[in-house]
Amino acid sequence: MAATQLAINKLEANTAVICSKEAGLGNGLQLVAENIQDTTENYTEFRLFKVREYDDKISIFNRILTLFYGDENKEIIFKFLISVLIFSLFLLYGYFYKYMNPVGAAWTFGGAITTLFLVISNKKIRNRFYFNFIKGYWTYQVVMDDNQPSPEKNYQIPRVVEIYEEKGELKFSIYIADKPSREFAKSTKILHSTFGLETGDIVYWYEVSDINTARFNFKGIVYMYWQNKKKWRKITQLTARYLGEVTKEQGFVNYHRISKTEFDTIRNSKYLSF
């Protein structure tokens, strides 16, 4: 492919490509060197990349709930239709008159609908609904203020994060690929949280879980925030700012959603222990 791109001027004329001898001569290129794979000074490294796969779909039930919690035109129309349905149920009272008295009709229809709205408007129920958009598996990268990767603070050994729910609260667990069976760090307390269909943020304390892996006991605070442009999809990117209480380090972190398969693959990869 590289030889063909150079031959058809897709690459600059002063570009050299690594390819088989047959591919180079077949595309009319000039042979500069051969058998370079056996040269001790050859440090060429080949990497294979693939598009990251993850499941960002939400359940049908949660899609219905987005219509209750949203404020766009289609969601307002949905709420209006629900109100019309409630009114229509009361109109049916005349049909059920011989089977139910007015008080019974009011308690049956009104009570059922009121219970439904009380349930879906409950703060804990609402938060658990929003949790579904952020729960899952993530990898992260430390970045500088200009959103460029920070070579000093990024780690050679990958680290992955699992965000899950426990007793009605979000939890964060960080793992190092070299230590798959040990939780490296974790959240300890959610200090603040604001959830919405389009934006949200969380402030939480974190601390080291495995002192043997971390080599020293550290803790700090994280402010995490996000924007979701697709209400019908889970959040796929998070941005966070951290401040270490012990180390006094601070910086920015970009989180990217990954699949459970990729999470397990990274977590169980073999790296040199430190």
pLDDT, one tens digit per residue, over 94-111 is 565 556 565 566 566 666
The domain spans of the chain are 2-38, 60-131, 136-267
Which has more confidence, 126 or 212? 126
- Tell me what percent of the residues of the chain surpass a pLDDT of 90: 17
Question: Which class for 270: exposed (0-12), middle (13-18), buried (19 or more C-beta within 10 A)?
Answer: exposed
The CA distance from 131 to 142, in Å, is: 24
pLDDT of residue 110: 65
pTM above 0.75? no
Which has more confidence, 261 or 148? 261
- Tell me what percent of the residues of the chain surpass a pLDDT of 70: 69
Evaluate if residue 262 carries a pLDDT over 50.
yes
Digit-coded pLDDT (tens) for 207-258: 888 776 666 677 889 999 998 877 778 899 999 988 887 667 788 889 999 9
Grade residue 164 by pLDDT with cuts at 50, 70 and 90: very high
CATH fold of 136-267? Lipocalin (2.40.128)
The CA distance from 112 to 86, in Å, is: 10
Count of helix runs (H) and strand runs (E) in the chain: 9, 8
**What are the start-end ranges of the H helices in 43-91?**
60-69, 73-91
Grade residue 274 by pLDDT with cuts at 50, 70 and 90: very low
Evaluate if residue 270 carries a pLDDT over 50.
yes
What token pair was written down for 130? 């929003």
Helix (H) or strand (E) holding 124: helix 123-131
Grade residue 273 by pLDDT with cuts at 50, 70 and 90: very low
Low-confidence winner among 7-11, 39-43, 164-168 (lowest mean pLDDT): 39-43
